[in-house]
Structure formats: C-alpha cells, structure tokens
C-alpha cells in the first residue's frame, strides 16, 4: 500500500519522545475509530498518546483506516503516515497487535485469519482480562441496523457527519485563538438529540446481548464514537470512543483496572505540569 512507504513525516517525527520514566506501562491498549485518510482524524494527538503508553498488546478495534473516504477522495498527509509508522514500530519491538475489522475498513475483512508479522487480523477477539472477565472485542458495526440494511442511508449520514466535523475544525481553531480547550460540537449535538441518545442505549443493549452469546462477561467495542464504561446491561460494557471527536482510548492496567483515557483532557494537564516544573528546574540548576 502506498501509505506504508517511507516518506517525509514532518514535524511530528522531530518531537521529543517521552523518556522511559515518563512512559506509562500498561497491559493492554484498545483503540478504535481513528479514521486515517480523513481530515477529521486527529493523528497528531494519537501519536502523542502512543508514545506515552507502553502496552504488551494493542487492539485496533476497527475503522483505523477510512476506506469509504479514500475510495472517492484520496487524503493522506504525512501525519497519518506517522501513525502507521508508530504502529509498525510497536510490532517491531515485539508487541502484539490485533486488528479487528470495522465497516469503514471493511477491506481488512478479506484478510481475516491472517497474520502479518505481529499483526493479527480478526473479525472479533476474546480478551482475557486480569479482572477475571472474558471480553468480546468487536467493532460493533454488525449490530447497527442502518449499516447492515441501509448502506445508502449510512453513507448519507456519513456525509452529514463529515460536514459537522468540518465545522468542528473551524470552531476549535477559533477557540484555540482565544486560549480555550478543544470542544467537540458533534459530540455535544449527538448527546442532546433524543433519538441519538436512544440509539446509543439500544446499541449498548445489543452488544451486551452479543457478549452473553459468546459466553463472555464483557464487551469492548467502538463504532458509535461514544466512549463509555458501565455495567447497566448486566455485562461490563466498554466503548473505546474515537480519535476524531473525543480522542479517547481504553487502557487495561496491570492491576486489572480498565480506564477510559480522554487525551484532550490528560495531555493539556501534562503540559501544564511540565511547564510548572521549568522554573523549579532552573532554580535547582
């Protein structure tokens, strides 16, 4: 594939990588809905995140590459190449990568059951959590009736969604000029529309039922770009969110605890803490 070729990768490659003391070691990372190949993808944020967490296993829970968009509009800036290179570097270092196919990267399903180096391509996976639960890891598009039975409606909705994301980019550019933090217009709108809220609730119930069918005690999924973790359906439901609207992922710590990382909240705090240490460091010197 063309985007796997070595090429100029811009300013991201020049950023200092965290020192070993700064890197947080975790057992597992779960990342979904990156949508590489679209203008809404927040590749720079994801690269920073991948450099901050060291995991033995990384689950790519679907829609990592947006084949729907790339088929009609080729968009692949250097920053998206950096994401691929970061993942390749993880595999080179002996980390296990499990690629669960999604609907936007459904071309990956042609390779289900294959292994490319350290990357396993699967339709779904069963993750044995340290908390004693087995988790069904699946993207979740198979349980979205719109995607399954009305693809034209899904494509129309996708167009409207991208329009909202474009507005989101401009809105946050203005906010940044005033020193305000990132805020997702599309997420805000989604959670205030009654039908969307009901859809999310139904989706969670269906995925929880699918977990029971696989005799697991939990499910980890993506697809709807809404990070969540709860036991409301009698099953531990975990949604990883996305790297378009919310910049969220899920980590499993070595004590068995699962945590949603909201990077647009964590990263500014880290930068603030680092900045506050500069005067102290100078005083010590």
In degrees, rounded to 5, the angle at the alpha carbon of residue 132 between the alpha carbons of residues 126 and 136 is: 20
What is the pLDDT, as a whole number, of residue 72? 85
Domain ranges of the chain: 7-279
- In this prediction the pTM is 0.75
In a 13 Å sphere around the CA of 62, the CA atoms on its Cβ side amount to 27
What is the pLDDT, as a whole number, of residue 69? 86
Rounded CA Rg of the chain: 19
Reading the block at residue 104, the tokens are: 């936007």
CA–CA separation, 249 and 143 (whole Å): 21
What is the pLDDT, as a whole number, of residue 73? 87
How far, CA to CA in Å, does 79 sit from each of 12, 42, 44, 193, 230?
A: 7, 9, 6, 33, 34
CA–CA separation, 264 and 277 (whole Å): 21
Low-confidence ranges of the chain (pLDDT < 70): 1-21, 144-176, 180-199, 201, 268-285
What is the pLDDT, as a whole number, of residue 65? 96
Q: Which CATH architecture has domain 7-279?
A: 4-Layer Sandwich (3.60)
**C-beta of residue 28 within 8 angstroms of C-beta of residue 55:** yes
How many of the other CB atoms lie within 10 Å of CB of 6? Answer: 7
């Amino acid at each position: 594939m063309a985007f796997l070729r070595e090429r100029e990768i811009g300013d991201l490659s020049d950023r200092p990588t965290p020192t070993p003391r700064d890197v947080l070691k975790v057992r597992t990372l779960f990342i979904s809905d990156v949508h590489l190949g679209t203008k809404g993808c927040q590749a720079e944020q994801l690269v920073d995140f991948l450099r901050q967490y060291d995991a033995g296993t990384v689950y790519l829970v679907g829609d990592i590459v947006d084949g729907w968009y790339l088929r009609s509009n080729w968009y692949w800036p250097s920053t998206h190449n950096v994401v691929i290179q970061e993942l390749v570097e993880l595999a080179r270092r002996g980390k296990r990568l499990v690629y669960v196919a999604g609907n936007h990267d459904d071309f990956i399903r042609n390779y289900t059951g294959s292994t490319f180096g350290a990357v396993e391509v699967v339709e779904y996976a069963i993750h044995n959590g340290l908390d004693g639960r087995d988790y069904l890891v699946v993207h979740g598009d198979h349980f979205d009736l719109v995607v399954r039975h009305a693809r034209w409606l899904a494509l129309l909705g996708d167009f409207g969604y991208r329009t909202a994301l474009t507005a989101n980019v401009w809105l946050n550019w203005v906010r940044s000029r005033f020193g305000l933090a990132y805020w997702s217009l599309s997420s805000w709108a989604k959670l205030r529309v009654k039908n969307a809220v009901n859809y999310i609730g139904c989706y969670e119930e269906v995925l929880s039922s699918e977990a029971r069918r696989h005799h697991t005690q939990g499910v980890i999924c993506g697809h709807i770009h809404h990070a969540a973790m709860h036991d409301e359906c009698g099953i531990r439901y975990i949604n990883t969110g996305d790297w378009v609207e919310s910049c969220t992922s899920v980590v499993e710590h070595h004590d068995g605890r699962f945590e949603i990382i909201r990077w647009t909240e964590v990263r500014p705090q880290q930068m603030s803490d680092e900045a506050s240490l500069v005067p102290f460091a100078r005083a010590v010197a």
